Amino acid sequence: MKFLPLIFFLCLSCSSFGQQWVVTPNGLRNTADPRMKYLTISGGELSARKLYDNARKYIIENNPDSLRKIKLEWDSVALVFDTYLPYLVTFNVFLTTMRFDAYYTTELRFNAGSVRYEITFIDMADVASANKLTFRGSSITNTSVYSNKGKLLRPDVKEIIEKHFNGELIKMSEALNQP
């Protein structure tokens, strides 16, 4: 029962600013325009500096390892930070459990009233082996979300990845829009 309010809130939040991440054969893309690699988060009447300060505060509180990697001074252009996420995806392949950690880089670009939000790099690797989870690849390896021809091979994995990144989008949007 605790899940229902959370699901309602997530749906309401996503529909209120209308942009979400979708996993495609080419990686994470904007649902409104799959050619776009970024989303735009509305910042209302907030200045670029205030949006930057809110983003930096959110990163420090929620991703403290990124503190040494972000620019510590206001530069009015961008904030780039890395995130490590253990066990983003876990699934079985040929009687073997594969656990994929994710390491990704986020770039935020600030303007008055809006923030450009982009995942510029993502690497998903199995903890116990050298296997990589890719967005597009051979259907034989069973570690690709889509085949080389664009056929969806792992809808469960696609859903897990989208759920994580859209959840992060909602949290970032809420943090950015703090007065």
| 10-residue averages of pLDDT along the chain (179 residues) | 44 56 96 94 93 90 68 65 90 84 92 94 90 90 90 95 96 94
How many domains would you assign to the chain? 1
Asked if residue 46 is part of any domain, the answer here is: yes
Report how far residue 155's alpha carbon sits from residue 157's, in angstroms, rounded to the nearest whole number.
Answer: 5
Q: What is the pLDDT of residue 26?
A: 95
* Type and span of the H or E element at 160: helix 155-176
For residue 141, what are the domain limits? 17-176
The pTM is what? 0.83
Tokens of 148: 């080389």
- Predicted pLDDT at 95: 82
Helix (H, G, I), strand (E, B) or coil at 12: helix
1 within some domain: no
CB 62 within 8 A of CB 41: no
Does any domain span residue 83?
yes
Domain of 154, CATH number, reads 3.30.530.80
| pLDDT at residue 78, as a whole number | 81
